Every structure is written in structure tokens, then in C-alpha cells.
């Protein structure tokens, strides 16, 4: 009977915590849902709660073995998180709200169940900040820089392939066609998506820190390389067949194929890093 009472009390605590957080961050969560639905570039954020749930589930056997004790000083973190959310609601900054939610969640866990539980859960809960999209001004800046880098590198590669081209900003002027590296061709979508996939892989399948870091750092370079293949390939098509390069179906299929190549490259790199990690372990 006492065991059932304890479980009911624990469920009640969790229920109250979830209800309070939903009430405090209701506006932020609605805004997030709107962004995920309307902006495909940041729709990956909808997968973050599933990832957090999976990581907590993986840690569940460990959590059951830890004695739960209240850590009262953590209430200061809860108050700070709520105060930060008030500030974020006035500024309309989703990233600030995500930071507030992350701080509130971690502090609430520490207050209700103690520091040992928090040590196990802080990493999954800290991923909450990834649900929010990158601020518009920063996303636009990244997109523009990627456009310029992609344009410059693509023009250099086309010249190496003996295809005459003149670069004017994000325009690649060929002898019979002008290829514009638009926002959609900047690689920003694959940049964020591949970085997110690398983060998921590193957290769910890898324990060695250096392998995690290497995998996450490699993702942007793989994304940029894949996008260069896409633009150069489109440039070759434009040089040979002109307006065929503007075909939307071909453009979409080519972009999807190149992105899948980058994804497989990421998985291949992961296997290579794991192999190198095991080799280093055997040497000692």
C-alpha cells in the first residue's frame, strides 16, 4: 500500500510540474508550433521533444536506482527561469524563452528529486533549447554567408572543370545561362538538418566525448560540400543544356539526392570514428 502511495505521490508531483510549466510557457509553446508548421527550415525542432523523451527512457534504469531527495536551493533556478520567461515574453525572443524553459525544467527536477537525478537528466533536458529556431537576424546572416561561400567555391570548381564562369555576388554567369544561388540553394536547410542529425547520433549512439565533438563539427562541412556538388552539378547541366537547369522537378530531385549523399556520408564518418576510437582503445 505504501509503495502505491509513493507512486501516486510521484505521479502527482510530475503532473503538477508539467501543468505549471505548460501554463507558464503556453504562449511560447504555441509560437513554437506555429514556426515548426510554417517554416520547413526549422521544422526539425518538433523532433527535439521526442529525442529528449528517448534519452530519458534510455536513462530510466539508472534513475530507478538513485535515491530521490529534495534539493531546496534549486528553487532559485526555478524563479530565475520564470523571471527570464517574463522578460522573453515582452521581447518576443523564442530563444530566450527556450533558455528560460530549459533552466526551469532542470531546476524543477533538482528541487523535486535532488542533485543526483539532475546529474543524469541535465543533458537531455538541456536539449530543450534546440526546439527554438535560430533568431531571424542570425539565420539570415548565416544564409547570406552560405550563399556567398557557395557561390565563390562553386565558381572556382567550375573553372577547374574548364567551364567559363563569372561570379557576381550570388550570381554565376555562364556563357549561355545565369545561375542564381538563391536562399534555398545556400544549403542552410541541409546545414541545420545535418547538424541536428549529427547531434542525435552523437547523443544516442556514442559515449566517447571526442567522437561526439568530431561528429558534430563535421556536419556543417559535409553540408557545405554536398551543396557545392549540387550547385556545380546544376552549373554543368546549365552549360550543356541551358534552361533544363531551371526545371523545378530536376532541381528538387538533384537537391534531395545530394542531401541523402551527405546523410550517408555522416553515417559513414560515424562508423569511421567509432572504428578509430576502438583501435585507439585496443592500443592501450
Dihedral sign computed on CA atoms, order 71, 73, 76, 81: negative
Residue 283 confidence class, pLDDT cut points 50, 70, 90: very low
Residue 182 is predicted with a pLDDT of 67
Q: What percent of the chain has pLDDT over 90?
A: 3
Q: Is 258 or 268 the better-scoring residue by pLDDT? A: 268
pLDDT tens digits for range 115-155: 899 998 888 888 888 888 877 777 777 777 878 888 888 88
Residue 282 is predicted with a pLDDT of 37
Residue 4 confidence class, pLDDT cut points 50, 70, 90: low
For residue 17, is pLDDT > 60? Answer: yes
For residue 100, is pLDDT > 80? Answer: yes
- Domain ranges within the chain, ordered by starting residue: 2-133, 137-283
Q: Rounded distance, CA 97 to CA 26, Å?
A: 11
| 3 state SS of 92 | coil
Mean pLDDT of 184-198: 70
Mean pLDDT of 203-227: 81
| 3 state SS of 168 | strand
Residue 186 is predicted with a pLDDT of 56
Q: Rounded distance, CA 72 to CA 69, Å?
A: 9
Mean pLDDT of 151-170: 84
235, 172 contact by CB (below 8 A)? yes
Residue 102 is predicted with a pLDDT of 92
95, 132 contact by CB (below 8 A)? yes
Mean pLDDT of 254-260: 76
For residue 25, is pLDDT > 60? Answer: yes
Query: At how many degrees (to 10) do helices 115-126 and 48-65 cross?
Result: 160
Closest CA to 146 of 192, 206, 86: 192
Residue 248 confidence class, pLDDT cut points 50, 70, 90: low
Q: Rounded distance, CA 50 to CA 54, Å?
A: 6
Residue 178 confidence class, pLDDT cut points 50, 70, 90: confident
Taking the alpha carbons at both ends of the chain, their separation in whole angstroms is 53
For residue 15, is pLDDT > 60? Answer: yes
> What stretches of 52-198 adopt beta strand conformation (E)?
165-168, 171-174, 178-180
Across 49-53, 70-74, 83-87, 193-197, least confident range: 193-197
Amino acid at each position: 500500500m505504501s509503495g502505491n502511495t509513493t507512486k501516486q505521490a510521484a505521479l502527482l508531483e510530475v503532473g503538477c510540474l508539467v501543468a505549471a510549466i505548460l501554463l507558464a510557457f503556453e504562449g511560447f509553446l504555441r509560437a513554437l508550433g506555429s514556426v515548426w508548421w510554417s517554416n520547413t527550415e526549422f521544422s526539425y525542432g518538433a523532433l527535439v521533444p521526442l529525442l529528449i523523451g528517448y534519452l530519458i527512457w534510455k536513462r530510466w534504469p539508472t534513475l530507478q536506482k538513485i535515491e530521490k531527495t529534495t534539493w531546496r536551493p534549486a528553487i532559485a533556478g526555478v524563479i530565475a527561469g520564470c523571471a527570464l520567461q517574463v522578460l522573453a515574453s515582452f521581447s518576443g525572443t523564442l530563444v530566450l524563452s527556450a533558455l528560460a524553459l530549459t533552466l526551469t525544467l532542470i531546476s524543477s527536477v533538482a528541487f523535486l528529486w535532488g542533485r543526483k537525478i539532475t546529474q543524469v537528466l541535465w543533458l537531455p533536458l538541456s536539449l530543450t533549447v534546440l526546439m527554438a529556431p535560430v533568431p531571424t537576424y542570425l539565420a539570415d546572416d548565416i544564409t547570406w554567408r552560405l550563399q556567398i561561400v557557395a557561390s565563390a567555391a562553386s565558381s572556382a570548381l567550375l573553372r577547374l572543370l574548364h567551364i567559363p564562369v563569372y561570379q557576381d555576388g550570388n550570381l554565376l554567369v555562364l556563357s549561355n545561362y545565369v545561375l542564381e544561388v538563391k536562399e534555398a540553394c545556400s544549403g542552410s536547410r541541409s546545414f541545420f538538418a545535418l547538424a541536428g542529425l549529427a547531434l542525435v547520433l552523437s547523443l544516442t549512439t556514442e559515449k566517447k566525448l571526442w567522437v561526439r565533438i568530431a561528429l558534430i563539427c563535421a556536419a556543417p562541412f559535409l553540408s557545405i560540400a554536398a551543396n557545392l556538388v549540387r550547385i556545380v552539378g546544376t552549373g554543368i547541366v546549365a552549360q550543356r543544356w541551358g534552361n533544363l537547369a531551371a526545371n523545378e522537378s530536376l532541381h528538387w530531385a538533384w537537391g534531395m539526392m545530394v542531401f541523402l549523399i551527405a546523410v550517408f556520408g555522416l553515417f559513414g564518418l560515424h562508423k569511421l570514428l567509432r572504428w578509430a576510437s576502438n583501435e585507439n582503445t585496443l592500443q592501450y
